[in-house]
């Protein structure tokens, strides 16, 4: 048997002994099992609470959102971008029950394919900011050096960049360079046509 196989066998044996040791340690005192089960239950319950959006405020992330009096019903209210609503419950087939003031209304929140935003949802927990509007936009490289090395590709000022993502945390955009890989650069190194963006999203904040 080779040295490598010997080490592998020793490792497998060690893991097996360790697992058996844990099992014996657990069953030697029933209280330990109850404590571990309680910890697992609390963890699962906490995660479910974090994922539960019932009663939380959401904001419209499209130019307009039609809310119906019932699923497949008639339009009762049309909200505009960044208007708020409260989630009452999630229903089957992506339908949501929401509250606007004292009204209980419905709409289908299946993602839609926007030519500039890509796939997104109609409501989100954060407002639709100008940074979200950068997704899918074409911007112009404007680096102080006059060029940019992007993942093995060379780009010069004036080249068009299509924004795939934007990080508000570090103020960088992500795009795919001509070599096919992804690159991030600061928004300080691009020119953005905000006028064009505001024409598409007149309610943009």
List of residues 6+ apart from 63 with CB closer than 8 A: 80, 81, 201, 202, 203
Q: How far is CA 31 from CA 27, 38, 122, in A?
A: 9, 10, 49
Q: Which domain holds residue 22?
A: 3-51
Kindly state whether residues 74 and 98 are assigned to the same domain: yes
Per-residue pLDDT tens for 14-41?
Answer: 666 666 666 666 666 666 666 666 666 5
Locate 164 and state its tokens.
């795939």
- Please report which helix (H) or strand (E) contains residue 36, including its range: helix 30-51
Domain annotation covers residue 170: yes
Kindly state whether residues 137 and 107 are assigned to the same domain: no
Per-residue pLDDT tens for 78-125?
Answer: 999 999 999 999 999 889 999 999 999 999 987 554 544 455 689 999
Q: What is the CATH number of the domain that holds 73?
A: 2.30.30.40
Residue 135 near residue 116, CB atoms below 8 Å:
yes
Q: How many domains does the chain have?
A: 3
Kindly state whether residues 140 and 108 are assigned to the same domain: no
Kindly state whether residues 195 and 141 are assigned to the same domain: yes
Domain annotation covers residue 62: yes
């Amino acid at each position: 048997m080779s040295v490598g196989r010997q080490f592998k066998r020793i490792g497998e044996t060690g893991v097996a002994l360790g697992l058996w040791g844990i099992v014996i340690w657990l069953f030697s005192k029933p209280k330990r099992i109850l404590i571990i089960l309680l910890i697992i239950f609390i963890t699962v319950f906490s995660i479910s609470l974090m994922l539960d959006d019932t009663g939380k405020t959401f904001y419209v992330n499209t130019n307009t959102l039609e809310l119906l009096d019932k699923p497949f019903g008639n339009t009762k209210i049309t909200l505009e971008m960044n208007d708020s609503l409260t989630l009452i419950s999630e229903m089957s087939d992506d339908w949501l029950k929401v509250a606007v003031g004292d009204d209980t209304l419905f709409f289908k929140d299946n993602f839609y394919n926007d030519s500039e935003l890509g796939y997104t949802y109609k409501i989100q927990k954060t407002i639709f900011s100008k940074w979200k509007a950068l997704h899918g936009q074409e911007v112009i490289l404007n680096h102080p050096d006059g060029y940019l090395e992007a993942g093995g590709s060379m780009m010069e000022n004036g080249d068009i960049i299509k924004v795939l993502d934007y990080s508000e945390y570090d103020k960088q955009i992500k795009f795919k360079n001509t070599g096919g890989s992804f690159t991030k650069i600061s928004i300080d190194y691009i020119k953005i046509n905000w006028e064009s963006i505001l024409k598409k999203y007149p309610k943009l904040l």
